[in-house]
Structures are given as structure tokens and as C-alpha cells.
Amino acid sequence: MAKAFAPAKINLTLHVTGQRADGYHLLDSLVVFADVGDQVTVTPASVGAGLSLSVTGPLAQGVPTDDSNLVVKAVRLAQVRDADIVLDKHLPAEAGIGGGSSDAAATLHALTDEFGGAAPEALERLGADVPVCFAAKAARMSGTGGRVSVLESFPTLPALLVNPRIPVATPPVFRALTQKDNAPMPTELPVFSSASDAITWLWTMRNDLQEPAVSLHPGIAEVLQALKGLEQARLVRMSGSGATCFALFATIEQAQKAAATLKQSQPSWWIKPCLLS
């Protein structure tokens, strides 16, 4: 039996820099990972038993267990025939934090640990976020997701993740984006000496999908406004195509205090203080 952690993926920046003739968008994104996430457990099954997926955890409801789940697709890609997979689900779906992609990447790690061999190539076939989720380290993701450059060093950022439990499908958000050829990040990213330095620089970057996502789902604006009103929040932004938003803080204690405050006024929201790295 092998277990693998599937961390939440956070786009600190997300610049949409173009669109190919086949419709795929070109991205330039600084991605980090949280210490909150799902967990995948892989257990070998008897020969001929086939593949089974069961989903547990507080956010298991509605998660498919058939071939539409990226976990199943990852097992198929790895050409493993007989295995029992348990996905312990703690991340909301369609939330802009790569839950399904991270689950698929964790599944591939667990399969490698249990059965040996190398991970399949061309992981972007599973989804644009799967390659960076497989690395699961601070990285620059570019192109259609297949180009991942892990950063040699990046400071740990205390953060608060908030999702209003609004599922947001990615394709409509991209369709609502009117400007497709936006400027990328600088060719060379700075080497940050501290979290404060990173936050100061992040202020000069952006998420190009934030405005179109808000236009489709006004509830995201409510989350952004609530985060901006929190004491000691240094930077507030949406992750991915939404609806999860984040606030960055100087310390994890500040993030935890902000979480407690926000839970009092918004008890139905998904609210998680965490560390990003």
C-alpha cells in the first residue's frame, strides 16, 4: 500500500499570453503548493480484479468514481490494471486550486511507489495543471502547461485560502477573457530573500482570469472584498480560474487569526489557513 499527498495548487500569478490556433491558451504562471490537500491511497488488487476507486472525506459528495475522474485516467495512463484506489477528499471541486490535477499527480506518485517503474511522459495529456502538480514545488508554468521550471528557492508564504463553495468551470472563464495576448512575467524571475520581498513583487503581477471570473460569478468579488478587509492581509488575489481566493500574511498566526474572524461572519465558506511553498 502506498499513500501520496495531493496539495492544493495556488496560482500566485496567472498571465494569459496568447491563444493557439487549436484554441489552447498560453499561460505564464507562478505556482506554489499549500500544506492542505487531499490524499490518495493505492493498494494492489488481485490479478484480474481490475480498478476500483472510492472517495472518502468531508468533500467526497458528488465526486465521480468512473473514468471521468482524473485519478482513474492517471491509472489508465500508467497502465496499471489491478488496483484499489481511495481518494480522501478535502479540497473543493472546480475551485481553481488544481484539486483533480493534484489528485492525478499524487496517484502517479503512489503508483510508482507501489508498483515501481517511471511515471508516464506527456502528463499534460491528463490536464494542463498535472505536470506542475506532479512537481508539487514552487515553479513557473508556461505554454499550455507542459513547460514547468521548478524554482531553486522560494520563501514560504503564510496564507488564507477561501472558497465560497461556488463551482467555477474553467472554459467559460477563458471565453469571457477579451484580451488574450497579455504581457508575460519577466524573463528572469527575481530571487526573493524573504516572504515580504516576494509579496512586494507579486503586487506588480496579476491574474488575468480574475476579472472575467468575477463577471460570471459575482460571489468571487464578495470573497475578495472580505479578504481585503482582514487585518494585516498583505495581498489578495484569486487563484486559477476561481472561485478560490487567497490572502497573504506576514505570519501563519496572522492567517489563523484572520481565518477565525472570517468563519464568524461566513460560516458556510471553505476557509483554510496554510503555508504556501
The answer to whether residue 117 scores a pLDDT higher than 90 is: no
Q: What integer pLDDT is reported at residue 121 of this predicted model? A: 87
Q: What is the pLDDT of residues 135-173, one digit of tens each?
A: 999 999 999 998 999 999 999 999 999 999 999 999 999
Beta-strand pair 2-11/157-163: unpaired
Q: What is the mean pLDDT of residues 75-79?
A: 95
Q: What integer pLDDT is reported at residue 83 of this predicted model? A: 97
Helix H, strand E, coil C: the string for the chain is CEEEEEEEEEECCEEEEEECCCCCEEEEEEEEEEEEEEEEEEEECCCCCCEEEEEECCCCCCCCCCCCCHHHHHHHHCCCCCEEEEEECCCCCCCCCCHHHHHHHHHHHHHHHHHCCCCCCCHHHCCCCHHHHHHCCCEEEEECCCEEEECCCCCCEEEEEEECCCCCCHHHHHHHCCCCCCCCCCCCCCCCCCHHHHHHHHCCCCECCHHHHHHHCCHHHHHHHHHHCCCCCCEEEECCCCCCEEEECCCHHHHHHHHHHHHHHCCCCEEEEEEEC
CATH of the structural domain 152-276, one choice from 3.30.420.40, 3.30.70.890, 3.40.50.1220, 3.50.50.60: 3.30.70.890
- Of 43-47, 120-124, 209-213, 246-250, which gets the smallest average pLDDT? 120-124
pTM: 0.97
End-to-end Cα separation, the chain, in angstroms:
28
Q: What is the pLDDT of residues 170-187, one digit of tens each?
A: 999 999 999 999 999 999
The answer to whether residue 265 scores a pLDDT higher than 90 is: yes
Q: What is the pLDDT of residues 210-226, one digit of tens each?
A: 999 999 999 999 999 99
Q: pLDDT-derived band of residue 119, with 50, 70 and 90 as boundaries?
A: confident
The answer to whether residue 208 scores a pLDDT higher than 90 is: yes
Distance CA 3, CA 190 (A): 35
- Architecture in CATH of 2-135: 2-Layer Sandwich (3.30)
Q: What integer pLDDT is reported at residue 80 of this predicted model? A: 95
- The domain locations on the chain are 2-135, 152-276
The x, y and z cell numbers of residue 253, run together, are 498566526
Q: What integer pLDDT is reported at residue 122 of this predicted model? A: 85
b/e string for 96-107 if b means 16 or more Cβ within 10 A? Answer: bbbbbbbbbbbb
Q: Which residues are catalytic?
A: 9, 129
Q: What is the mean pLDDT of residues 78-84?
A: 96
The answer to whether residue 88 scores a pLDDT higher than 90 is: yes
Q: What integer pLDDT is reported at residue 150 of this predicted model? A: 98
Q: What is the mean pLDDT of residues 104-126?
A: 93
Q: What integer pLDDT is reported at residue 214 of this predicted model? A: 98
